[in-house]
Amino acid sequence: MKTKITMNIKKTVLNCLFALGFIFLTPTSKAQSGASVERPNILWLTCEDNSASWLGCYGNGNATTPNIDKFATEGFQYMHAYASGPVCAPSRSTWITGVNAVSMGTHPMRCSYDIPHDKIKYYPDFLKERGYYTGNFYKTDYNIGSRKDGECWDQSSRKVPPNWNDLKQQQPFFQVFNLKKSHESNAFGDVSNTKHDPKKVKLAEYHPDVPGMRENYALYHDAMEIMDSDFGKVIKNLKETGLYENTIIIYNSDHGGVLPRSKRYLFQNTLHCPLIIRIPEKYKHLWPADKPGTQINRLVSFVDMPKTWLSITGATVPDYMQGKIFLGPQTEPEQEYHFAFRGRADERIDNARAVSDKRYLYIRSYMPYTPWMQHLDYMWNMEAAKVWEKAIADGTANDIQAKFFAPRGASEELYDMYNDPDNVNNLATNPKYSKVLNKMRQRMRQKQEAIYDVGLIPETECVRMAKENNTTMYEMARNPKLYNVPVLLDASNLALEQNQNNQDELFKMLDSKNLGMRYWGIVGSFLLNNKAAGLKALNDESHEIRAMAAWLLIRTGEKEKGMACLKDLINQNSYAILMVLNIVDWLGEDGRNLMPYVRQLKMNKKEVVKRPGKTKIIVDYPGRMQLNLYERFGE
């Protein structure tokens, strides 16, 4: 008995010593030996809009990215890092909070909806508590209301980049530096005079090989080369200031892209992003492998990053964060699947989710009646979008290239990312892959329930519901009396089956007091062309449901009634006006009959002074859709 007690005492002492050792070895000031163990500085270099496939170190033989390629030999190159959102604002909303944007209702592009700031802090808040100086240069775009984006940082300014000598006096620091030259806008404009040879670029299978397409690829290679040069300058400045061996350097993009059918979508080339981390020798205990230059095959999601940065600095890691720590002594088990989401992107409405492992990508569309590719005002500044659309119109494009402009039809897609990196061969209906498909369905459902997916009803209805109940969408989604995630997922699954045997049940759902049930009732009825459901839902209190009912009637022979409903929603400038204007476009030639009413809408505009003597006119999203319709119908 005495021996057992003695062993327990020794074990307790050893545990205490281990805990103390861990405290000192995680970045604090001094270890018991007296040796200095400094907290690491962290420099997070984020570039914009490019997938991993645009870099030489990730296998692109046409890329000119020597600085990043060299950096990969000095750091740890993650081969399976994936964006949570496919466009900047939702992605950065996830980054700043460590919570998936679709869990907070901040997944639609540039929405700035409120979150409970008393419950969800930003990760720099915890770094400052840990004694870190926090800086950001300079993009924020957090997509969240009721708190100024720059408030969480000690310094966040677009006026000047970091002064490295001043930063040296602020150690330990956490500095974000945004490299903007790879942004989508750098693929706009004249494509006729590029540094890279258009003949040498490799086109994606879904892009037609027509004049303007190869040139646009080459132009973006040029932009990536400039971004790589800027990356090199930052590293050079860090070395000259003597901070290189005291600083962990993280490099990645904010999501993938950037040519049409990448950014904003949930395909591999939007989700798969570069991630390279250089960890100096003095912080070797944080290395994820035996030596630098190693390629790391762990699956990493963007939502993992804030939690990991807090962990390796010894800061508090709040329990509401949804990611996995993937680096350092607190590393958590690797996740089997990555989860991603898509909501409204600018003026175009869509709703989809994705899960992927290292081989397969599964996409669930909640709006299969829409095409993947839709005319987006901003994207159509790119020559590649224009020539792709023209190739379809004149018959130059083949079936693979044309199908992305047509309605999806199917609500499920499954791709083999290894054998089909362009994601053009949908395996969802192939019996050979039924086990893979079922497992991914299950994992998606589990994740949506676990994070309280708040995007299962239209954006406008979600906003109205939260406002009526004096709460945020984040809190509303966690109240099953207001928003029951499992019930909504069941309803959406029933609707998206497109099974005639479900027709009666979907029709009954239109009588529900629950708006979400009625919404999925009309969506399912729309997909089954049930005219009776359209007549029943035409006067629903929800404008979103009315709009879907009207569209259903137009395509099932009750055109007059459907058009009258849409006309009424346009004339009253409905809160669902963006959905209505999208439907006008999706109607094709029938939409032309509604243009006299569309023209009468008042366009909301504001002037933004970019610099002295140059003013930019900003049009709101319904206004952009209005302009799209003018162009569509030749007005």
Q: What is the pLDDT of residues 266-305, one digit of tens each?
A: 999 999 999 999 999 999 999 999 999 999 999 999 999 9
Residues 597, 571 contacting (CB under 8 angstroms)? yes
Give the strand order in the sheet containing 412-416: 338-342, 352-356, 360-365, 412-416
Better-predicted residue by pLDDT, 6 or 423: 423
pLDDT of residue 37: 53
Crossing angle of the two packed helices 304-313 and 88-97, in degrees rounded to 10: 30
What are the tokens at 139? 């993009």
Distance CA 232, CA 282 (A): 23
pLDDT of residue 160: 87
For range 373-388, the mean pLDDT: 96
- Indicate whether 241 pLDDT > 60: yes
Q: Is 274 exposed, middle or buried (0-12, 13-18, 19+ CB in 10 A)?
A: buried
Residues in a beta bridge with 349? none
Distance CA 101, CA 120 (A): 12
pLDDT of residue 245: 96
- Indicate whether 369 pLDDT > 80: yes
Q: Is the pTM of this model over 0.75?
A: yes
For range 168-180, the mean pLDDT: 97
- Indicate whether 64 pLDDT > 80: yes
pLDDT of residue 312: 98
% of residues, the chain, pLDDT over 70 = 93
pLDDT of residue 609: 60
- Indicate whether 598 pLDDT > 50: yes
Distance CA 36, CA 28 (A): 9
For range 55-68, the mean pLDDT: 98
Q: What are the respective helix, strand and coil percentages of the chain, to the nearest 5?
A: 45, 15, 40
- Indicate whether 59 pLDDT > 70: yes
Q: What does the pLDDT look like over 180-233, one tens digit per residue?
A: 999 999 999 999 999 999 999 999 999 999 999 999 999 999 999 999 999 999
Residue 168 — very low, low, confident or very high, per pLDDT cuts 50/70/90?
very high
pLDDT of residue 487: 98
pLDDT of residue 608: 64
Q: What does the pLDDT look like over 547-558, one tens digit per residue?
A: 999 999 999 999
pLDDT of residue 615: 75
Q: Which residues contact 462 (CB under 8 A, 6 or more apart)?
A: 105, 454, 455, 473, 476
For range 386-393, the mean pLDDT: 97
CATH of the structural domain 39-191+228-337, one choice from 2.60.40.10, 1.10.8.100, 3.40.350.10, 3.40.720.10: 3.40.720.10
- Indicate whether 31 pLDDT > 60: no
pLDDT of residue 337: 98
For range 556-584, the mean pLDDT: 98
DSSP per residue, 326-382: -SSTTPPPPPS-EEEEE--BTTB---EEEEE-SSEEEEEES-TTSBSS---TTGGGS
% of residues, the chain, pLDDT over 90 = 90
